Amino acid sequence: MDSAVLLDLLGNENRRRILRLLSHKPCYVTEISEYLGVSPKAVIDHLRKLEDAGLIESHTDDRRRKYFHIARDVRLEVNVSRHGFGTKSAYPANPSLDIQGSCPHMHIDLELRSVDSGADAAADGGELAELAAEFDELQDLENELSLAQRWVHGRMSDLLDRVNDRLGVDADSRFYAKLLAAVTSTDGSHRAVVEEVDADPQAVEDGLRRLADADLLALESDRWQLVG
């Protein structure tokens, strides 16, 4: 789902409250209307928008009562700082994701307890105990990841402030930081830096020249290098 669409949907407080309610249980229109304190007509309008976006769907029970429930798990990340604003596209939860292979910088214990679905475990309550233990571990991990994100955001802002100090307050510090990183991670040629940054070649050339004027880069044998 496009992150801009999700942001627009979640900008409405009643739609956020509907999703919060549906995250606990499926509900029909009258239930939602009583929970929100708004008319059924208004609830139906909110539900239609959420359904059109693919966030919720409905099913009918034996009494032909229409229940709404959340259709899929999605996640939206928003970053607001002095150096930029950005959103990461919403993406579905993926329990099979290879977190260690995809995130080489993470050093957390991912050896969560696995659930034994065997008959013996179910008989003695072992499966339920395993589920409870894994839930507790995942809650702790979720909190740790939230703290890690705050730490990374703070370190990134501090780093970009230091880039601004060297280049001036009018500089696009994130872009120049990408240029510096590209120079160190490639052979330093203009083509390699352009491919790494994935930006307009002339903008990259202008940026590299500005970094050189600030005595941060030097051009030697058609290769950019960090100064010092």
The 10s digit of each residue's pLDDT in 132-165 is 888 898 888 888 888 888 888 888 888 888 888 8
Residue 88 lies in a domain: no
Residues 104 and 55 in one domain: no
Residue 86 lies in a domain: no
Can you tell me which residue has the tokens 């589920």? Answer: 131
Give the per-residue pLDDT at 80: 84
Residues 17 and 57 in one domain: yes
Res 122 pLDDT > 60: no
Tell me which of 147, 168, 189 is where a domain ends: 168
Give the per-residue pLDDT at 190: 93
Residue 76 lies in a domain: no
* Cβ-based neighbours of 226, under 8 Å, separated by 6 or more: 180, 183, 184, 216, 217, 218
| CATH code of residue 66 | 1.10.10.10
Q: Of 69, 41, 42, which is closest to residue 55 (Cα–Cα)? A: 69
Q: Which amino acid is at 70?
A: I
Res 92 pLDDT > 90: no
Q: Total structural domains in the chain?
A: 3
Give the per-residue pLDDT at 4: 86
Residue 33 lies in a domain: yes
Residues 187 and 157 in one domain: no
Distance CA(144)–CA(35), nearest Å, equals 33
Residue 54 lies in a domain: yes
Residues 64 and 7 in one domain: yes
* Cβ-based neighbours of 213, under 8 Å, separated by 6 or more: none
Range of the domain at 212: 173-226
Residue 188 lies in a domain: yes
Average pLDDT for residues 201-226, to the nearest whole number? 92
Residue 80 lies in a domain: no
Residues 111 and 157 in one domain: yes
